[in-house]
Chains A and B, each alone.
Chain A
Amino acid sequence: DTGVSQDPRHKITKRGQNVTFRCDPISEHNRLYWYRQTLGQGPEFLTYFQNEAQLEKSRLLSDRFSAERPKGSFSTLEIQRTEQGDSAMYLCASSHLGALKYNEQFFGPGTRLTVL
């Protein structure tokens, strides 16, 4: 079991640039979640997928944010025209459909984004 992996671990970008993050869930997990964590706060839900279908999006996910999970395996989160307020840790988590009812989520190490 390799766990949830995320790439890159750190990203520094200039305001206005586009960035893309990747998440590889635990291989047998059907559900994939994205959260954002700012300093001194707990993670906040952004969106989740069941297989390739994006089933829910938070109001935090502005039009500049888009997430995909094209083949129901890895997922990407893209932020267009980054703003300084986008600076945060972006966490990915996955869970198994068999544990659907209990929603036990396993988290990756996160991607820390710094927008200058």
Chain B
Amino acid sequence: AQSVAQPEDQVNVAEGNPLTVKCTYSVSGNPYLFWYVQYPNRGLQFLLKYITGDNLVKGSYGFEAEFNKSQTSFHLKKPSALVSDSALYFCAVRPEYSGAGSYQLTFGKGTKLSVIP
């Protein structure tokens, strides 16, 4: 079974500073990794994904994430935080193989990001 850990319930960062939201995962075989963002009373919005190839993945709104296979991590980053980035961020994983149990996403508990003006 796969799992995701987001070790920080909350991350506070000053506007204009770089931000990092941490994620580690466990999965059989190679992972497909995703980041989603959730604003209050809204559904999840897709930010970016890692499937294969370059370990640095670029996504929406200036976010990027770095895949590290040896550390089983997929940390979300942004060079300069905006107040509007304040939201709940979820990391998710599914295994590369196709078959039973593979299509469902397994999510972490989420990290609340607060960007302070």
Task: Answer whether residue A72 sits at the interface, using C-beta atoms and an 8 A cutoff.
Answer: no
Q: Name B13-71 residues within 8 Å CB distance of A.
A: 32, 34, 36, 41-46, 49, 51
Chain A contacts of B100 at CB under 8 A? Answer: 56
Complex Cα–Cα for A91 and B97 (A): 25
Q: Per-residue CB proximity of A88-111 to B under 8 Å, as 1/0? A: 000101000000111111111110
Chain A contacts of B107 at CB under 8 A? Answer: 42-44
Q: Per-residue CB proximity of B95-109 to A under 8 Å, as 1/0? A: 000101101111111
Complex Cα–Cα for A107 and B36 (A): 10
Query: Are B44 and A91 in touch, CB under 8 angstroms?
Result: yes
Chain A contacts of B46 at CB under 8 A? Answer: 104-107
Which residue from A42, A106, A108, A112 sits with its C-beta under 8 Å from B90?
Answer: A42
Query: Are A42 and B4 in touch, CB under 8 angstroms?
Result: yes
Query: Are A40 and B43 in touch, CB under 8 angstroms?
Result: no
Instruction: Tally chain A residues at the interface, Cβ within 8 Å.
Output: 29
Query: Are B98 and A101 in touch, CB under 8 angstroms?
Result: yes
Complex Cα–Cα for A56 and B104 (A): 9
Chain B residue nearest in CB terms to A6:
B43
Complex Cα–Cα for A91 and B105 (A): 13
Complex Cα–Cα for A4 and B44 (A): 11
Task: Answer whether residue A31 sits at the interface, using C-beta atoms and an 8 A cutoff.
Answer: yes
Complex Cα–Cα for A55 and B4 (A): 24
Query: Are A4 and B51 in touch, CB under 8 angstroms?
Result: no
B4 → A minimal CB distance (Å): 7
Residues of A within 8 A of B (CB): 4, 6, 31, 33, 35, 40-45, 48, 55-56, 58, 91, 93, 100-110, 112
**A-B pairs, 5 with minimum CB distance:** A42-B107, A45-B104, A107-B43, A107-B44, A109-B43
